[in-house]
Structure 1
Amino acid sequence: MKSKTVYLPDLVGKGYKRFWNFRGRYRVVKGSRASKKSKTAALWFIYNLMKYPKANLLVIRKTYRTLKDSCFTDLQWACERLKVSRLWDFKLSPLEATYKPTGQKILFRGLDDPLKVTSITVPSGALCWGWIEEAYELNSEADFDMLNESIRGEIPEGLWKQWTLTLNPWNEHHWIKKRFFDRPDENTLAITTNYQCNEWLDEADLKLFEEMKKNNPRRYQVAGLGNWGIVDGLVFENWREDPFTLDDVRNCESINGLDFGYANDPAALFVGFIDQQGKKIYVWDELYKKGLTNRRLFEEITKMGYAKKKIVADSAEPKSIDELRGYGLRMASSVKGKDSVNHGIQFIQDYEIIVHPRCVHFVTEISNYTWDKDRFGNSINRPIDDFNHLMDAMRYSVERFSKGSPKLKTYRGGI
């Protein structure tokens, strides 16, 4: 087999020396968007799995379905960048990667199937490393403790047990801050990175952050500099997570809303149910992706099984609504008016919002969606223009209920 020579510093770049060399139990990186944290982690894992022939890796996200377009793709990218793709076999069903010369494994799991997380074995060597991507999604420290116990037992000489957590630091009240950043110890590396250490950003990329710094300084502190988000004055506090089933919503009305996005903002589909008598809104599913043309948006909605559902979309984009109708979706236009945002919020605040744990983007938004402040720091009667894509989609979905008493079409099974 022909060998290829690469110079590692040129491929990895700067800003992560401590991360690369640390051997303690916990390696935690909070960072802004474009800070290279996930890409650097992927490079580290591919490089060191090949360096240590007895090591194996477990990759975790809160929901299994989000792994393919994140960690799985990043690890494939790392193989390409290190010029070793020919040595790795990536499988889609189930998600898995194998280092061909030794049989070492990269296993992918979601916390939505805990039994598959707690009973993990590898055919060769030891499972000694774990990577939790978007660790902010883990709202429960108990979930992490369960994962922590999955890497146990003796390991071959020369290896070490280690968890790597990468995350965007949206909320200063998150348990990760208290556990790893507020109580540092010799077994933990907790660092903050931002876009300024990413030497591969071009002028257009940098301009986005400069505009964010000028126009949205609150978001720049988190998404730009990687500082902890300060969450004060939540719009919705009437919510909880619960792995409910379709049997629990058998007598509810289906509600679906869509907020358009493309380059900088995601297209956000809210799929849920409303129980008017019991005053409950159930959040069942979500779509949250950037870069979707209307055709691809239609394909995603169809693939998810919601092509026959009535979807209320943002009336600000009538052309997009008409195009989606042309593809066969049952699209309706939201009816906006004076104080429509606050009116919709007030309606939803009277309901208990029950969120299925797989709706990770919804949880992130609702736990960061706050009332805006004036230049003196006083709260004003207007929500921030951030963390609002699924919030707006939810508001569109209940609009017909909040504006009157519609004729209900009772849910009769299916979704």
Structure 2
Amino acid sequence: MRKQITINTDNMICPHFDRVLFSHCLNKVLKGGRGSTKSSVISLQLVMDFLQDPQANVLIMRKVANTIELSVYEQIKWAIYMLHVDSLFEFKKSPYRIVDKRNGTAFYFSGVDDPQKLKSMMIAKGYVRYLWFEELAEFDSWQEVDTVRASFTRKHLPPGAHVVTYYSYNPPKNPYEWINEWVSQRDGMPNWYVDHSTYEDVTLPNILSQDYIDEINTVKQNNYDYYRWMYLGEVIGLGTNIYNMDNFEAIDKLPDDDYITNVYYSVDTGHEVSATTCGAYGLTKKGNLILLDTYYYSPQGKSHKKPPSALSNDLKSFIDKVTEWIGKQPTRMTIDSAEGALDNQFYNDYGIHWHKVNKLKKVDMIDRVQDLLAQGRFYYLKRPENEIFIAEHQKYQWDENTLQSDDPKVIKEDDHTCDMFQYVVRDNERDFGLKW
């Protein structure tokens, strides 16, 4: 006999979401800005719906499998604990499952790295009644999503039961991304409900902290367009200039009221025809990032170009110099994931491998940097070695010929420090307090 559980969710789910949750549409798109609580709302609703059908299973998907644990898996766990039903579940990680101990139905979690594999997925007990595609903008196309979705929506369910699919995401800046065009087509279609929410729709108390609101207001003041995109979920376009240089704050010396806790290094290599550069960055107790020093070698115009062995020696000397100056050993040393020669040379010389960054599309790499900048947390020491860093970022632009595409490109000239900055931010986004 199933236990009756009564929970008052009025203090958990903001009234804004009532219409989409109570809608009878089978496809529910929740888009909007960061901090709108849309993912929390979906997770709470899924747990409540799951508990009302002893044969129901839930399949929750992200584009990449290695993002599951710290996102949707923990999100469903949070909802289960919030609803005080954790004693009913067993939490498993190999593979990721949250199983109802009473009857064996479950929340299943999967990456969609290969959509074809999910088409043949078998559920031993009951049926899949709920689907959730989280961070929908990460997927490559609607066809990729629909390949998985159709595998479950076409299956016969008992009378009165239907497959309900949730989609959630933050809209990309670029109006030509597939998802921005896709959602405009879905809005108003039969059986589709499209909802847009922002942090301003969070009207319940004790949901968003004052620190978070202060952070939003800082971004709003520093970069209003970025605020519109990040927190209001508006499709603002890319423009041509990539960075607001007012967010690069120069300092004459290290702060007296803060101190460096960790030092990070990042390399972009060039070898034969383009420059090799390395940045040394200090993370402070207050969460600020300071460009301490820059190594830059360009082979342009030189008849004898430095081989990997000479660059390896230069980088070791650069790191040793900063280590002696700051008094901190490197926390992480990041390098382009496509680079092999210099990493191998450095390991051969010093027994140390650089960490190869997991690169994303260029627009997503830049988004991470813009997030840090808009929070007013990036500084650089005014010294001759760092002038090249500022000069290259001032000139950094999108290629206008690629802006009306879903994969815009940058102009690949004098962008080496720009790349190495993106690498260090992407490789250490959790250390730097970036919420992606």
Sort the TM-score into its range (normalised by shorter chain): 0.5 to 0.7
Measure, in 1, the Cα distance between the counterparts of 2:316 and 2:97. 35
Match among 186, 191, 194 for residue 187 of structure 1: 191
Render the CA deviation track for 1:209-262: whole Å, top value 9, x for unaligned.
222222211111121212223223386xxxxxxxxxxxxxxxxxxxxxxxxxxx
Matched with 2:71 is 70
- Contact kept in structure 2, 1:105 and 1:122, CA below 8 Å: no
The normalised TM-score by structure 2 is 0.59
What are structure 1's unaligned runs of at least 5 residues? 236-266, 280-290, 294-309, 333-355, 373-379, 400-415
Matched with 2:383 is none
- Contact kept in structure 2, 1:270 and 1:394, CA below 8 Å: no
Measure, in 1, the Cα distance between the counterparts of 2:369 and 2:41. 30
Matched with 1:110 is 111
Structure showing greater Rg: 2
1:364 is the counterpart of 2:368: no
Greater mean deviation of Cα atoms: 90-99 or 170-179: 170-179
3-state SS of the aligned residue for 1:146?
Answer: helix
1:204 is the counterpart of 2:207: no
Greater mean deviation of Cα atoms: 84-93 or 166-175: 166-175
1:153 is the counterpart of 2:158: no
Identity of aligned residues (%): 22
- Contact kept in structure 2, 1:169 and 1:226, CA below 8 Å: yes
- Contact kept in structure 2, 1:53 and 1:104, CA below 8 Å: yes
Measure, in 1, the Cα distance between the counterparts of 2:165 and 2:273. 43
- Contact kept in structure 1, 2:116 and 2:148, CA below 8 Å: no
* 1:33-48 to 2 correspondences below 5 Å: 33-48=34-49
Deviation at 1:187? Answer: 1.4
- Contact kept in structure 1, 2:141 and 2:179, CA below 8 Å: no
Render the CA deviation track for 1:126-151: whole Å, top value 9, x for unaligned.
11221111111012222112122221
The normalised TM-score by structure 1 is 0.61
Measure, in 2, the Cα distance between the counterparts of 1:156 and 1:312. 70
* 1:76-91 to 2 correspondences below 5 Å: 76-91=77-92
- Contact kept in structure 2, 1:137 and 1:360, CA below 8 Å: no
* Cα distance change, pair 115–330 in 1 and its aligned pair in 2 (3 A): same
Match among 223, 234, 239 for residue 230 of structure 2: 223
Match among 168, 177, 180 for residue 174 of structure 1: 177
Measure, in 1, the Cα distance between the counterparts of 2:159 and 2:128. 13
Measure, in 1, the Cα distance between the counterparts of 2:225 and 2:91. 40
* Cα distance change, pair 162–83 in 1 and its aligned pair in 2 (3 A): same
Measure, in 1, the Cα distance between the counterparts of 2:160 and 2:423. 58
Matched with 2:95 is 94
Q: CA RMSD in A?
A: 4.5
* Cα distance change, pair 162–212 in 1 and its aligned pair in 2 (3 A): same
Amino acid at match of 2:155: G
Measure, in 2, the Cα distance between the counterparts of 1:312 and 1:30. 49
Measure, in 2, the Cα distance between the counterparts of 1:84 and 1:393. 48
Greater mean deviation of Cα atoms: 4-13 or 41-50: 4-13
Matched with 2:419 is 394
* Cα distance change, pair 79–60 in 1 and its aligned pair in 2 (3 A): same
Render the CA deviation track for 1:135-169: whole Å, top value 9, x for unaligned.
11012222112122221210122221222111111
Measure, in 1, the Cα distance between the counterparts of 2:265 and 2:194. 35
What are structure 2's unaligned runs of at least 5 residues? 243-261, 275-284, 288-314, 336-355, 374-393, 399-409, 411-415, 425-436
- Contact kept in structure 2, 1:28 and 1:166, CA below 8 Å: yes
**Alignment length (residue pairs):** 305
* Cα distance change, pair 125–210 in 1 and its aligned pair in 2 (3 A): same
Matched with 1:122 is 123
